[in-house]
Amino acid sequence: MGKTIIVSNRLPLRVEKGSKGKLNFIPSEGGLATGLGSVYKGGGNVWVGWPGVYFNKEEKRRLTEERLAEENMKPVFLSKQQIELYYEGFSNSTLWPNFHYFNQYAIYKRTLWEAFVEVNQKFCEVVLEMAKPGDKIWVHDYQLFLLPGMIRAKLPDISIGFFLHIPFPSHEVFRLIPWRKELLNGVLGADLIGFHTYDDMRHFLSAVSRLAFLSNQNGRINVGNRVLEVDAFPMGIDYNKYAEKAASTEVIKNEVEYRTSLGDQKFVLSVDRLDYSKGIPNRLVSFELFLQKYPEFRGKVSLILLVVPSRDQVDTYRELKEEIDLLVGRINGQFSMMKWTPIHYFYRSLPFDKLSAMYRMADVALVTPMRDGMNLVCKEFVASKLDKTGVLILSEMAGASKELSDAILINPNNKHRMADALKEALEMSVEQQQSHMETMQATIKRYNVHHWVDLFLGRLDQVKAAQKEMDTKNADHQVLAAIEEVYNKANSRILFLDYDGTLVGFKSMPELAAPDKKLKTLLEKLAAVKNNRVVIISGRDHETLESWFGDLDIELIAEHGVWMKRKDAEWKLLRQLNLDWKDKIRPILESYVDKTPGSFIEEKHYSIVWHYRKVETGFGELRAREIMSHLKFFAESENLIVLEGNKVLEIKNSEVNKGKAAELWLEDDEYGFVLAVGDDWTDEDTFKAMPRDSYTIKVGPEVSDARYRVNSYKEVRKLLEKLT
């Protein structure tokens, strides 16, 4: 078992420079640090990241050798300029606003991008100092989007996971970034890519398909000959830590203290980092509206507004801070009374026992981000409510809303609704509060952060194991040598070769895929070898195959086995098939062509094909599914099957398939060497029909019954070249 390397922008600690050059360490209490504690603190594992302060040479040495090594941490030292351009710049002024749908704040600047590449490279170098084949690397968040690809380039077989903590936007928004392709290619270096929600995952997959032109099957993407997986892993909190803290005597003491000084009233709590994505101004305006609309609550309810200073070097953040200051001033100025202040505003970070007391005390948590990857504050609030009273008002735009449907869900742009939700929450009966809270607690308890870590790392192992299994099938030099040996010894041989995707690449129109000169020469030579039978076994119609290969001394099976042509013989029909069904299917498919620009019908003698290679990505797949379900019962009753190929649907008689046709050839002789090569699932029938010791080769990475696999038609040609 190798070690695990966690990589994130920041190390899970804060370093403070004391007097006389003393360096003090304050471990991070953050959710990620707690969740991954059990991982990086163990054995030879390690956490790589920026320590958060700038150091001189001597400090760097001491820090690395003396302190951090003990804590299983490895620093990546960054200069002030790097932090400005890579962190405050590209990460927080390009990616963050774009990914949170705040495009008006996004800056697209080449210098920032270059620094981003440079720092990701620097992280890569530090990781490579330690990483060995067999290790597991888990990269966190948008600041290190390029890192998986950079590591992969140096260590092709290593296991890499990537988790995005913020939302992934619709591809319409993501594509605004000038370096969108480089970003995607970077992250696609991972074996497992995790998001908080299914929607983020969906957006990512659509960006990958439209911008990197890679399709997926249930979140599985083939990059070269590597299969990676994409999935949703909603992150949780350390539930017990929050529940236990809320029960501690110091927290109860804090609460009593707050209540005594604030007097007998109800509390609405708001807790976030200073960030425009958190929707703090909207929240304040809604609270103001609430006091205007429902004056009966004045003097009885206060808002406690906790804002943690964050990124205040950046202009937009400074402006946001000013806006909040003004709003709080305006509302307090307007509504304050001698013994009551509407908003208690704290612009600072609170220690855990004070924050916990706030969660305990609050009657309502008002969590209303404009956009949030997950949002842990709402989960922390729920875990802290030991008597199960309290109400959560939660934005639909937070990832957490997908799990916490028992909260009062609001749209943060609807300020009137937020004001009304506050009234509803403050008037909710205790029984109702408890019933909702109980459901939410059960969810958060079960899907806690430890569960999240186990789930992600476990899945990464599975993905890697699946890749290994596929690797064993790769037709490497040894396999190819064995094929050659058996081939040379055999005195009678047969080779079944599919055409499209197997001997040539795919073209936008089926008629453009005519064989090139090289291929024809290759087939000719192959057929000329003594005791060889070369059979092209294709779904194409027999006229096309005849026009392409009629002049060669090879044999042809067309339309999946309806038509066949043996050596020195004429084309022969398998047998007369009933074709009445075609008149019923044609108008149905025509109606789909009418509503799907770019699609078209190809009619063969014994089948009808609907092509959608040129249809808008995603739309074609949607229509294909519609046609499948439309034809489901009809196909059954007419004894037809609907075959899904590469961007095509083919409807044909179910009694015909490539395997049955190939069997007729196998009956002719006892062959000492049998080879079958194909790329799509109509070729699976051929593979299944082959005798046990034949060589069956699948072109492409999908699951197959074939014994071996190669990556592309080019490799097939190379193999055939050898056999001539």
- Applying the rule CB under 6 A, the residues between 537 and 576 that interact with ligand ADQ are none
Q: How crowded is residue 455: how many other Cβ atoms within 10 Å of its Cβ?
A: 16
Q: Does 166 bind ligand ADQ (CB under 6 A)?
A: yes
What's CA 624's distance to the chain center, in Å? 24
Out of 117, 126, 214, 308, which residue is the one contacting ligand ADQ (CB under 6 A)?
308
Among the listed ranges 52-60, 113-121, 265-273, 502-510, the one in contact with ligand ADQ (CB under 6 A) is 265-273
Among the listed ranges 269-277, 430-438, 637-645, 694-702, the one in contact with ligand ADQ (CB under 6 A) is 269-277
Q: Which is nearer to ligand ADQ, 141 or 650 (CB)?
A: 141
Name the minimum Å distance from CB 309 to ligand ADQ. 9
DSSP string across 355-391: HHHHHHH-SEEEE--SSBSS-SHHHHHHHH-TTS--E
Among the listed ranges 2-10, 205-213, 266-274, 537-545, the one in contact with ligand ADQ (CB under 6 A) is 266-274
Name the minimum Å distance from CB 355 to ligand ADQ. 5
Name the minimum Å distance from CB 5 to ligand ADQ. 19
Q: Which is nearer to ligand ADQ, 224 or 351 (CB)?
A: 351
DSSP 43: T
Q: Which is nearer to ligand ADQ, 96 or 297 (CB)?
A: 96
Name the minimum Å distance from CB 218 to ligand ADQ. 24
Q: How crowded is residue 135: how many other Cβ atoms within 10 Å of its Cβ?
A: 20
Q: Does 246 bind ligand ADQ (CB under 6 A)?
A: no
Q: With CA atoms as reference, report the closest residue to 89 among 424, 354, 315, 372.
A: 315
Q: Does 311 bind ligand ADQ (CB under 6 A)?
A: no
Question: In this structure, what token pair is assigned to residue 254?
Answer: 């804090």
C-alpha Rg value of the chain to the nearest Å: 32
Q: Would you give the binding string for ligand ADQ spanning residues 19-58, x where CB under 6 A is met? A: ------------x---------------------------
Give the active site residue among 135, 372, 420, 498.
498
Name the minimum Å distance from CB 143 to ligand ADQ. 12
DSSP string across 224-249: TTEEEEEEE------HHHHHHHHHSH
For 164-230, the three-class secondary structure string (H helix, E strand, C coil) is CCCCCCCHHHHCCCCCHHHHHHHHCCCCEEEECCHHHHHHHHHHHHHHCCCCEECCEEEECCEEEEE
Q: Would you give the binding string for ligand ADQ spanning residues 620-659, x where CB under 6 A is met? A: ----------------------------------------
DSSP 685: H
- Beta-bridged to residue 266, according to DSSP, are 301
Among the listed ranges 270-278, 509-517, 533-541, 587-595, the one in contact with ligand ADQ (CB under 6 A) is 270-278
* Buried/exposed 368-390: b ≥16 CB within 10 Å, e otherwise: bbbbbbbbbbbbbbbbbbeeeeb
Q: Which is nearer to ligand ADQ, 203 or 464 (CB)?
A: 203
Out of 62, 181, 210, 273, which residue is the one contacting ligand ADQ (CB under 6 A)?
273
Q: Which is nearer to ligand ADQ, 234 or 700 (CB)?
A: 234
Q: Report the run of H or E that residue 16 belongs to, with start and end.
A: strand 13-17
End-to-end CA distance of the chain: 45
**For 57-63, which contacts have Cβ atoms below 8 Å and span 24 or more sequence positions?**
59/17, 59/21, 59/23, 62/23, 63/15, 63/23
Name the minimum Å distance from CB 328 to ligand ADQ. 15
| Alpha carbons 657 and 669: distance in angstroms, whole number | 21
Name the minimum Å distance from CB 141 to ligand ADQ. 8
Q: Would you give the binding string for ligand ADQ spanning residues 345-374, x where CB under 6 A is met? A: ----xx----x----------------xxx
**Total chain residues near ligand ADQ (CB under 6 A):** 19
DSSP string across 420-470: HHHHHHHH--HHHHHHHHHHHHHHHHHT-HHHHHHHHHHHHHHHHHHHHHH
For 299-363, the three-class secondary structure string (H helix, E strand, C coil) is CCEEEEEEEECCCCCCHHHHHHHHHHHHHHHHHHHHHCECCECCEEEEECCCCHHHHHHHHHHCC
| Alpha carbons 482 and 480: distance in angstroms, whole number | 5
Q: Does 376 bind ligand ADQ (CB under 6 A)?
A: yes
Name the minimum Å distance from CB 354 to ligand ADQ. 8
Q: Does 303 bind ligand ADQ (CB under 6 A)?
A: no
Name the minimum Å distance from CB 359 to ligand ADQ. 9
DSSP 616: P
Q: Which is nearer to ligand ADQ, 271 or 453 (CB)?
A: 271
Name the minimum Å distance from CB 50 to ligand ADQ. 16
* Buried/exposed 327-341: b ≥16 CB within 10 Å, e otherwise: bbeebeeebeeeeee
- Beta-bridged to residue 386, according to DSSP, are none
Query: β-strands 364-367, 391-395: how paired?
Result: parallel
Out of 207, 235, 343, 574, which residue is the one contacting ligand ADQ (CB under 6 A)?
235
Q: With CA atoms as reference, report the closest residue to 14 among 27, 33, 30, 29.
A: 27
Specify whether 498 is catalytic. Answer: yes
Per DSSP, the three-state class of 163 is strand
Spatial contact of 541 and 652, defined as CB atoms under 8 Å apart: no
Q: Which is nearer to ligand ADQ, 454 or 626 (CB)?
A: 454
CA distances from 205 to 193, 198, 593 (A): 11, 10, 26
Q: Does 232 bind ligand ADQ (CB under 6 A)?
A: no
Q: Which is nearer to ligand ADQ, 30 or 43 (CB)?
A: 30
Q: Which is nearer to ligand ADQ, 355 or 562 (CB)?
A: 355
Q: Which is nearer to ligand ADQ, 380 or 500 (CB)?
A: 380
Q: Does 380 bind ligand ADQ (CB under 6 A)?
A: yes
Q: Which is nearer to ligand ADQ, 364 or 495 (CB)?
A: 364
Out of 269, 291, 306, 608, which residue is the one contacting ligand ADQ (CB under 6 A)?
306
Name the minimum Å distance from CB 416 to ligand ADQ. 25
Q: Which is nearer to ligand ADQ, 143 or 704 (CB)?
A: 143
Residues marked active site are found at: 498
Which positions touch ligand ADQ (CB under 6 A)? 31, 165-166, 235, 271-273, 306, 308, 349-350, 355, 372-377, 380
